[in-house]
Amino acid sequence: MKGLSLPLPSIVVALCAAVIMYVGGAGFWLSSSILVVWLATLWLARPEPTVETITRDDGSVSRQTMIELVEPFGLPVLMLDGQRIAAANAAAREELGTHLVGQDARVALRHPEAIRLLAKPAGRALVRGLTGARSIWQVSRVPIDERFSLIEMVNRTAEADISRAHTDFVANASHELRTPLASIIGYVETLADPDAKVDAATAARFHATVLRESKRLQSLVEDLMSLSRIEAEKHEVPRDRIDLGQLVGSIGSEIAMSTSESLLEVETVDAVVAGDRQQLDQLVRNLIDNAFKYGHPGAPVKVRITAADGETVLTVTDQGDGIHPDHLPYLTRRFYRTDPGRSRTAGGTGLGLAIVKHIVERHRGKLDITSALGVGTTVTVRIPLAGPAVETVGLPLS
């Protein structure tokens, strides 16, 4: 029989013993009976086929073969022998622990939804909190035969986080748009009401408020559109050669003309990066604008460009109240404000640093924000320097 290993040496010994007994006068039937009993005990004492050794004509394979099949999977995969884990690939061991093999799957997974799934021969379940408080896994059980089955786990946490982030973004954007719109509508309705009897001074103040809220609404829409464009292009690596030092110097001169040269200190060097000129211009202007908004009135803003170790470093430093350490990790979130009232008064949309972060990420750079209460804040942007320019030599056509 295929797959059956016969104990040939033991059988030969049993036959020889039976022949000797027969020759010694034990008789044919007695010798034959002892031979049959001996062979039966050899058959009954044979080892049970296990998952490590079984190979059948119906396509079943050995445990080692199954391990070799599931190990390269990027997804966590478990092979079950009944309810016991017979094998687990590297991804499963990383998520659930290194001592999975040999455990009862219900103990290893330890979740009501997963346990209910394991009670069925096949099926699928969405399990929340399997590997962490916010984790979401899609767990599927696929039978191989009556004895063996596979458990496949797909991590849906990132998809849920993205969906949640989109929902939060829409809610926040709607709130931010509704606030100036409500103000504009309210003042315009008052001005348009013939029975309101608004005097000239009040009307002028209402008009100024409507204009201010309209500009705020315009800025918010422009920032939303800008953020949308940047996110759509974030996987496209910029390839234009931009001298960031020259760009910062030009922006600094322009801003100094509208404020005061003594309030903006610019120090630059030549620093060529592979970038998008429009986005880098927006990044520099956003950082300088934030520094003036949140720095002390009359205090200088320092902008510096250096180049070393294969990267250009842009730092923008203000002298303001500073930011509490608890706020620093969240500053680049959309619509996040440390002081909402002051931000709106200063004309901020809550999207400036979110835009800066996405521009830096598109340019394969790094963003760092440090602050000291009562001293000020420094924003540092590191972007890799561009390699040497490659000259293209035209070849004559033959």
CATH number at residue 203: 1.10.287.130
In a domain, 53, yes or no: no
In a domain, 398, yes or no: no
What is the count of structural domains for the chain?
A: 4
Comparison of pLDDT for 221 and 393, the residue scoring more: 221
Q: Same domain for 139 and 68?
A: yes
Q: What is the mean pLDDT of the chain?
A: 81
In a domain, 250, yes or no: yes
In a domain, 1, yes or no: no
Per-residue pLDDT tens digits for 78-102: 888 888 888 888 888 888 888 888 8
Q: Same domain for 132 and 147?
A: yes
Strands 272-275 and 136-143: unpaired
Q: Same domain for 185 and 228?
A: yes
CATH number at residue 150: 3.30.450.20
Cβ neighbours of 372 (radius 10 Å):
11
Q: Same domain for 244 and 378?
A: yes
Mean per-residue pLDDT, 102-122: 85
Per-residue pLDDT tens digits for 120-142: 888 888 888 888 778 888 899 88
Comparison of pLDDT for 110 and 214, the residue scoring more: 214
Residues 6+ apart with CB under 8 A from 359: 230, 276, 279, 280, 282, 283
Which domain covers residue 94, as residue numbers?
63-155
Instruction: Report which of 310, 364, 355, 301 is spatially closest to residue 331, judged by C-alpha positions.
Output: 355
Per-residue pLDDT tens digits for 191-239: 888 887 888 888 899 999 999 889 888 888 888 888 888 888 888 888 8
Q: Same domain for 379 and 247?
A: yes
Residue 347: its pLDDT value, please? 62
Q: Same domain for 246 and 365?
A: yes
Q: Same domain for 264 and 351?
A: yes
pLDDT for 76 beyond 80: yes
CATH number at residue 290: 3.30.565.10
Residue 315: its pLDDT value, please? 95
**φ/ψ of residue 276, rounded to 5:** -105, 115
Domain limit, last residue, from 102, 121, 155:
155
Mean per-residue pLDDT, 38-57: 51
Residue 175: its pLDDT value, please? 78
Q: How far apart are CA 87 and CA 105, in angstroms?
A: 11
The three-class DSSP label of residue 65 is: helix
User: Of 42-46, 161-165, 292-296, 381-385, where does mean pLDDT reach its minimum?
Assistant: 42-46
Q: Same domain for 175 and 142?
A: no
User: Of 138-147, 279-288, 358-367, where does mean pLDDT reach its minimum?
Assistant: 138-147
In a domain, 353, yes or no: yes
In a domain, 176, yes or no: yes
Q: Same domain for 257 and 131?
A: no
Per-residue pLDDT tens digits for 254-313: 888 876 656 888 999 989 999 999 999 999 999 998 898 888 888 899 999 999 889 999
Cβ atoms 139, 129 nearer than 8 A: no
Q: Same domain for 222 and 245?
A: no
Q: Same domain for 24 and 87?
A: no
In a domain, 49, yes or no: no
Mean per-residue pLDDT, 42-70: 53
Q: Same domain for 343 and 254?
A: yes
Per-residue pLDDT tens digits for 314-338: 999 999 888 889 899 888 888 887 7
Radius of gyration of the chain measured on its C-alpha atoms? 38
Mean per-residue pLDDT, 14-28: 71
Question: In residues, how long is the chain?
Answer: 398
- pLDDT tier at 346 (50, 70, 90 boundaries)? low
